[in-house]
Amino acid sequence: MMQGSAYSLLAAADDLLAVTRQTRVELRPNTQLEALALAVSANLPVLLWGEPGIGKSSALQQLADRLAVPMETVIASIHEPSDFAGLPVVGDDPATQGVPMAPPDWAVRLARQGFGLVFFDELSSAPPAVQAALLRVVLERRVGSLELPPAIRVVAAANPPSSAADGWHLSPPLANRFVHLHWTHDPAVVARGLAGTWPTADIPRVDPKRTVSALARARGTLSGFLTARPGLAHHLPADAESRGGAWPSPRTWDMALRLLTFGMASDASRAALSTALVGAIGDGAGLELVNYLDELDLPDPNRVLANPDAFQLPSRGDRQLAFLTAIVAAVQSDTTQSRWNAAWTVLAKAVDAGVPDVAARAATDLAMMRQPAWPVPPTIDAFVDILRLSGALR
């Protein structure tokens, strides 16, 4: 009797618990959620920084639910390096077969699924040896002898060292592999959520028709920016705390290229794209790049290639360089004779404007794409000397 009564009391309590978990969501603009979704779509490792208890894990679970993908949560701070490097499994003849490193169960489940999210929580509480073991997981997507499928996304969360239990600064090699997003809470959102309604953000949707021109514009933009600001190509901060965050390096500029391409090829908001870019290359370089983007406003290179005679070359030198680089990248993505000839028409406008030096690098790259059967266009005459020196013209 006592046992049955106790069970009925717990059953009623469980029913009440189920009711308290019933909430609904509503679309609401949220830059940090959208930036997270953009970076996850671009398949870049993301690190959410924020104080304990402000909803980092919940936000990621919500994103996984919206994307309809499984999520595996791994508490990095309670694992050993071997949990990520793998445990040796000695077979019958290790001298000839080697000793494979057995992966943990969460990695096997994700590999079988073929897609999903792996969430490394409490990363800043993991000791340096564990962080070192995670390097290969984040960069190469390998756990022991198991290679995670390309569709697996990696997200981590960390508390600032000042508020983390036995917190550590992230090592620069590990930190430089993430897009860093600073997670905050809005008291109004918390109040509405406790009333039963939590916010959700739109997931940026890639438009396949915009991908080629988006990549070309992104390449032109970053090439022009770093040509004007070469000192930002790599800058390792001096203090340990900053080295454990976002800072510019060739690796993170490549991440910025992917973010910029996805942002331009999707309906992502400019605020979300800016947040993600700053999270990849750091505050200083990121804010400069965002301002550069606002002033640049490159035209669609594919439209220009479709009607090159109607195009007017920008007057600013940095815009000229960025746009001509974008033109070459667009031709490289879809190389046909008509597009190749159209690109030379665009480059000729730089000669007419009195700035052939701006187009010299683009002319060299363009000449390298020529097929033997294609005739040399007359507009190439202005670049003959440069092309001969570069070996592109013989």
Q: Please identify which residue in the block is written with the tokens 């370089």.
A: 285
**Residue ranges covered by each domain of the chain:** 46-177, 299-394
pLDDT of residue 56: 85
**86: region left, alpha or beta (phi > 0 left; psi from -120 to 50 alpha):** left
Q: How far is CA 23 from the centre of its chain?
A: 31
Using DSSP's 3-state secondary structure scheme, residue 195 falls into: coil
Residue 92 — very low, low, confident or very high, per pLDDT cuts 50/70/90? low
Selected from 3.40.50.1100, 3.40.50.300, 3.20.10.10, 3.40.50.2000, the CATH number assigned to the domain covering 46-177 reads 3.40.50.300
Beta strands in the chain (DSSP E): 24-27, 46-49, 71-75, 87-88, 101-102, 116-121, 142-143, 146-147, 152-158, 179-182, 197-200
Instruction: Enumerate the β-bridge partners of residue 121.
Output: 75
Compute how many other C-beta atoms are within 10 angstroms of the C-beta atom of residue 305. Answer: 24
Q: Please identify which residue in the block is written with the tokens 């890639």.
A: 206
Alpha-carbon radius of gyration of the chain: 26
The DSSP-derived string for 283-316 is HHHHHHHHHHHHHH-PPPHHHHHHSGGG----SS
Using DSSP's 3-state secondary structure scheme, residue 137 falls into: helix
Percentage of the chain lying above the pLDDT 70 cut: 91
> What digits encode the pLDDT tens for the residues 336-373?
999 999 998 888 888 888 877 778 888 888 888 888 88
> What digits encode the pLDDT tens for the residues 104-156?
889 999 999 999 999 999 888 888 888 888 888 888 888 888 899 999 999 99
Mean predicted lDDT score pLDDT of the chain: 86
> Closest Cα to residue 36, out of 113, 132, 117?
117
Instruction: Report the pLDDT averaged over residues 226-236.
Output: 91
Helix, strand counts (H, E) of the chain? 19, 11
- Label residue 61 exposed, middle or buried (CB < 10 Å: 0-12, 13-18, 19+): middle
DSSP 209: G
